[in-house]
Structure 1
Amino acid sequence: MKLLGSLTSPFVRKVRVVLAEKKLDYRLETVDVWGDRATIALVNPLGKVPCLVLDDGSALVDSRVIVEYLDTLSPVGRLIPSLGRERAEVRSWEAMADGVLDAAVLARMEYAFSGRTELQRSPAWVERQLGKVWAGLDAMSLGLGEKTYFAGNGIHISLADIAVGCCLAWLRFRFPELDWAGRYPQLAQLLDRLEARPSFAATQPQG
């Protein structure tokens, strides 16, 4: 398998962590979706990463689709429960983490996108998106509570923790001024536990 992605994307990192946790072999091909859109568009018309190219040349897009597929390839370290409420819980926390990232990316791009002039940038839009970030962090902090991990009895790592961990690490990487760790110490402790794992240690955002 070949994974098209970047070293900064938290969505790509989520896939890379899952690949490592599942002990699956793959090749990472870094792609600049801004400067080399034509390359990624050959396999994903949306021009977005991550994109997983399978052995037969077909491609899977969207991190949530990709990680669900990867979890079926090996019984090692099952990350998504197969049935019932616990499965829905894990996927819901993944969606929450991804939603926080979507809002944070929109906030960052309002100022980082070179196609906008200063007069075109909207502080009100950034404030709205960061409001979503804080609301999502509130929910994640409440959901984790005093547990070690999110799902079930909180003993075993799941996709929920991986998604939340990638989200928190990216916020720390791109928005250090938010200091979410000071407000949510239990989330900071979760990230510390995750980043002690080889899968997280080997996929730190770069760039």
Structure 2
Amino acid sequence: MELIGMLDSPYVRRTAISLRLLGVPFTHRSLSVFSDFDEFQSINPQVKAPTLVLDNGALLVDSNLIIDWAETISERPSLMPGESAARLRALRLIGTALTASEKSVQIVYEHKREADKRDAAWLQRVKGQLHAAYGVLEREIDGVDGWLFGNSPGQADVSIAVAWGFTQLVTPEAVDPASYPRLAAFAMRAEQHPDFMALPQI
């Protein structure tokens, strides 16, 4: 199997780290939906990152769907807790982390516009949503010294740490780590895990 996309995308990176944690073998081809558009299009006409090319040539897109499928073929424990209340909490945290990733992407795209064409009110709203998401995560990880749901990283850990790293990479001026010290420390610990280190965002 081959995973297509750049690791500076939070969606590609969370997928890649999840595949490693689940023990699902794959190779990674770092293609940009921008600078490598034609080559990417020759693999997947939708030019959607991440794209997973299965051994039979079938294509699977969207990080959530790829990870969900990988869970079904993995011989390792699930990255999601099994108990109902814990699973609900994990889903809430993952959704919040994905919101932070999405809002960071929106800020990046708005800044691709010429300065006089940017929508200041829209940017302010998106930044407010971004801070709201990180505020939730900062509160939720209070008192967490290791992983959220056990002795190894799960999907909530991956999604949170990857989202934080992405925001700090692409729009550091929008979120000051000093405002979210627990979250910054949590992400720093996660980045020391071998499966994170094997797939750096840059």
Instruction: Name the TM-score, length of structure 1 as normaliser.
Output: 0.87
2:69 corresponds to which residue? 69
Counterpart residue identity of residue 191, structure 1: A
Return the alpha-carbon distance in structure 1 between the equivalents of residues 147 and 192 of structure 2: 17
CA distance in 1, matches of 2:185, 2:116: 40
Corresponding residue SS for 1:72 = helix
In structure 2, the residue matched to 1:188 is: 184
User: Hey, which bits of structure 1, 4+ residues long, moved more than 6 A?
Assistant: none
How many pairs were matched up?
202
Matched, 1:148 2:150: no
Residue 122 in 1 paired to residue 93 in 2?
no
Q: Aligned partners of 2:114 and 2:169: how far apart in 1?
A: 25
**Helix, strand or coil at the partner of 2:88:** helix
Residues 72-81 or 180-189, more deviating = 72-81
Displacement of 1:46 in angstroms is: 3.7
Aligned positions of 1:4-19 closer than 5 A = 4-19=4-19
| Structure 2: runs of 5+ lacking an equivalent | none
Rounded Cα–Cα distance in structure 1 between residues aligned with 2:40 and 2:83: 34
Please give the alpha-carbon distance, in whole angstroms, between the structure 2 residues aligned to 1:103 and 1:179.
12
Q: Which residue of 2 aligns with 1:173?
A: 169
Distance 1:170 1:101 in 2: 7
TM superposition score normalised by structure 2: 0.89
Which segment drifts farther, 51-60 or 76-85? 76-85
Task: Name the CA distance, whole Å, in 2 between partners of 1:117 and 1:62.
Answer: 30
RMSD: 2.1
Q: Unaligned stretches of 5+ in structure 1?
A: none
| Aligned-residue offset at 1:167 | 0.4
Percent identity among equivalent residues? 27
Does residue 54 (structure 1) correspond to residue 54 (structure 2)? The answer is yes
Moved more, 177-186 or 60-69: 177-186
Pairing 1:200–2:196 present:
yes
**Contact map agreement 1:44 1:61 (CA 8 A) in 2:** no
Task: Please say if residues 5 and 29 of structure 2, whose CA atoms lie closer than 8 Å, have aligned partners that are also in contact.
Answer: yes
Return the offset for 1:117: 3.0
The answer to whether the aligner puts 1:163 opposite 2:159 as a matched pair is yes
Give the letter for the 1:200 counterpart.
F
Deviation (angstroms), 1:165: 0.3
